[in-house]
Structure 1
């Protein structure tokens, strides 16, 4: 059995031993194309090492019970600490020396990876610029372990792939000193244009491009339509003729930064011709990773574009043209509640919120066209949240009067009286199984209608938040324009919100686990909460967790979507938070935030004292503004209950449809529209094979929509990059220096350790318990009034939000300096191993 293979010895026939990535790279070399030299630690080597460690025996029970967190924890410990077979270690060291011991890229290559129907992109680990034999062996272990991450386990389970039947090879390649790098799609996967290529390229190694966050330049190349492509896109003529290989042409280009270096057109066209050659060789459209160095093209990967399989996509609306007001509204959106694109059934939930937003717009004195309003509410595949065009009316002149009236009002008294009471009555628990189909839908309608009405009133009563605009004038007079934003942030620091109350309750729940004894705390640390059922102390603690979920389990995790599970539905993120909080002895102090608030208030009012009555008026307005922010957080927490109640109804409908043979799986329900769901529940449904075709088409369409959504939401932001510094919005004042910890989603909460700096794409209320651990916060998107900003100020930790590309520029474990006052992040020492920012995220 060979443990290590040179890339030049491999081809597509070696999928079982080299994995998808290694086999494809070998195939490219066989075609005579330039590929960086290297070797593959074979899947056989992994299998032999796994057998020596007894991996299957240790994980089989967890896998049978779908305990992904527990399986991942067990595997991670084994791959981190297990003794490597002497022959294995020797073979890897010898191969690395034969390569010349240069800096290398170490990339996972699973045997089920890079197939036409499942790319596994981003599921397994990649490390760049790995130096030295010991560094290589460490990266090898971590690549092996990534086969068993909760994310990879869930991905395989969703596709019916046998966990123990998948092995993993590891590709080791010499790093290319790239001048430019990026990705070529031989068929445009966003516009679904079979007669066009899409190329994204950036200077340097191009990790941001390959990770799906477009900071590079975009080229669109005209080509002959691919013969096996799906149906033409909405703007592509049927049977359109295009140029042949020899007259491939650049249609247009989108230069993201003026004056930035770019590859020559000749090199771009040469790459396009190589893409056509690869497409012809492999027989399907290709996703090609590349690097340009010294005027030559180096291929780093070629794989099928999985979103262009047998399922064609549904027609997508063209990107809307935005006016200035729409652009400003989009830029003001923090994106912390919408990290992924909504699925079709999520629009049912939006029917409760979008009309309330239109009501608020009209309350402010703007007008919205009714046809645009209907289109907005009825959206299914809208590329992003684009509000309808709003036109100013004469009613806008009354806005100051409305804000003043709102400042005199006590919105919390309304909420604790009539507002929340109506919501509670509509969402009161009932036995859903005892309701017939019509009664189940009537309950959903009542929840939706009540939420719309209550939310609309809530928006109107929140007009006092606009006082923040008026307060900037006296603040600027008091401290000068340059310090206005910083002082304004400090003036709304130290707020006690419902979000922080939940975080405090979670902290105390973690402390009770510690006091319950090592058996309870140990099970949580090991990621095995199911083991708590085996002891009296564990069962008592589970009862406390259940009590916590009874009160707070409606809290959203990923976002305000019907398709996003709450803590009650999926408590895995909650257990990850508890695991991290076990080592925190004291809750976060509110004193730091309060001290900033008091100091800023004293500074401003002291400077305003020369104008009689102005300091007192300033204090009164500021306190109303602070109360309005607390009101916003409290009502958001309570309004999520309506989404939780609707989710329970959706789950019951999905159960009934599956039981009646009208839906293959319960989770498929989120790819139906509300009209389909209602119709299939109350009347006839299409044959099951037709339903399955519909679902395949919807899933393929969602992959395209979500890819665009991710690029729009996280590929750009308020910040920017210059050298070793990122710029964003200073959301919480202060400066901290420490180790960055990248947390990519809710399943990775446990990665953050006390005193580290949390770096993530976004946060929402479910993330804020991590602030108890974090020394600082950096996000790709967000703003000064987001949930993250409020909690960071309350806890007194520096935060820079909207630092575009933070999760790509910052490597895991890198030392950084976060200046929340100036809104900048300085990149200092790089981590011991770069994780390479992953691969292009695809649904």
Structure 2
């Protein structure tokens, strides 16, 4: 009999209840009726979810968040942000009174104080067309009706996880019509658990069984390596057995589960006997005969009884695994143990090696190379950069998930009012970009205290801006204010001028200050210079930037923006949310999250130094080419400041063979249709840095635009990367087209207490240089108060 309006026992589930009970519960209902052993339990049907989101107003709030930007334009960082905000709504929104009472009474009558598993069962989940494998949440070892209700909301919230949103998008499903049923089943604390594939995804003549000691969770999330058996699909005979190391297993503990070391006797013994392997195989075949297609099943042995926990078709899994984009995105979601291993490899292996390679490249005098040798050097450096670029995406980017994992755990444990409160606890960590910015401020402070140095830099900048542009012109040479620079046409007068000035103490002191300034600047570029440092005009731009900093009061440094009392409060708040035995693990997770947060920024600077050395060789080749060939063969003017593989390929061919006519491809110009036809007053994005500020817009469309930013302007760009953050102390606010609380612009903005709005569609198209903006980092709104005339 159906219990209440929203609770259906598994034995009452029928084949036609998929839209009410979801795919997972429907499959278990069929398995139960056919005599297979299934844990006792109930399904909280989709009507409960629909009632909850309607009566609490959540449906409208979810729609509002999803309408901030076209879903098709969202990057994974933005999906994660929106997901965290929506999921957090579920944890903060209580059940309507009568609904909570009815659900609590029904669950208490079924389970009392028994441990249960709370698992997703969305319509379409585990079906022949959409599997949703590993997308939605499940929780084990939950006791008591109130705890079940809390985890019920968490499972409902997982309907809006970033991976669930991405999956629905790729499957062409209507995201707003999504609903969720939830399975609540008695907890089966199996001695051995695993999965079985009725058909090997790699060999249709085989079946595959994987098994671990304890619970399945360790196998599913990759924490525990399973033993693996390949069997003949027709007979069930064992063809191969690949044993695991069997060092650890996941067991029920407290509320949830915990990873424990296995006793030595278990480490030496396979989790299944040959007879048990055959029993699991026969269970998989029974499930296949019931549903008509090979099944992927989860199972567990308690004592000698074999339970089937879930079953879903294999065919869909194979199709979705062929989606490379989604496979890559899911690969970012690493377990805590895997993230610790990644951190060790990054900090102890990759970063030192990357730094050493950058130093070796920096020491090479490429100006002395012949044209042919320089062509080879450009290609060699491109290979080196590609190697590190691949490592960056395969190792560094997945480690960035550590900050997201910490945010997820923080929100589910602490349930704060602000879903992004966790970012405050991660901030304040020492990052290379902050160290670099402090050094820039030290240099600008020396300029600020020296009127003579200010005047010398001003004169040099004016001279550079009024002189005709030449490819071969050297970088600026700053001389003492008032001293004449020798010219090619009148060396006698400049020599006389220098002779008259010799010995004057104030000139000598100024020369010394200038020498020290240039040496300090060269040292700065050597240590921190990223990919922009080798772009044409970078040093001239740096002079302008330093002068701008020197002519204005210093920006508050990050240390002044961070309250140590608040940091300590948040830390204690987080740690206190765990039982005593788990507090050490919580501290380790916080440390890992901070390392991930820091390296998410630092790794780009390390990679940027490798890229800068590639650009140095490329720009040397470009300079030679433009000096020696006719105008038609030169690199197109609009591509002068860029490095691109296709440009490099033509450049190296020309360096090796002067008679070769390069086939330059002009870089595509951004469309200006939006700028001409659309002039919105308000733009909506994601609030990513608290605060409100006003200022004139500085739109960054190319690298050299960075150095023209003035104090108090609003930085508007496609995305801030760590090689750009040296200009942030001058900004009043940041607006980015790309979105995410954990992208670089948002991170650095919070460190400096600067308002930041990310994920603003077409920001660099809709906002013009000189527009006067108001940026609200609390609400994620950018208002154009006055358009540039």
Q: TM-score, normalised by structure 1?
A: 0.39
Q: Which structure is larger by alpha-carbon Rg, 1 or 2?
A: 2
Q: TM-score, normalised by structure 2?
A: 0.42
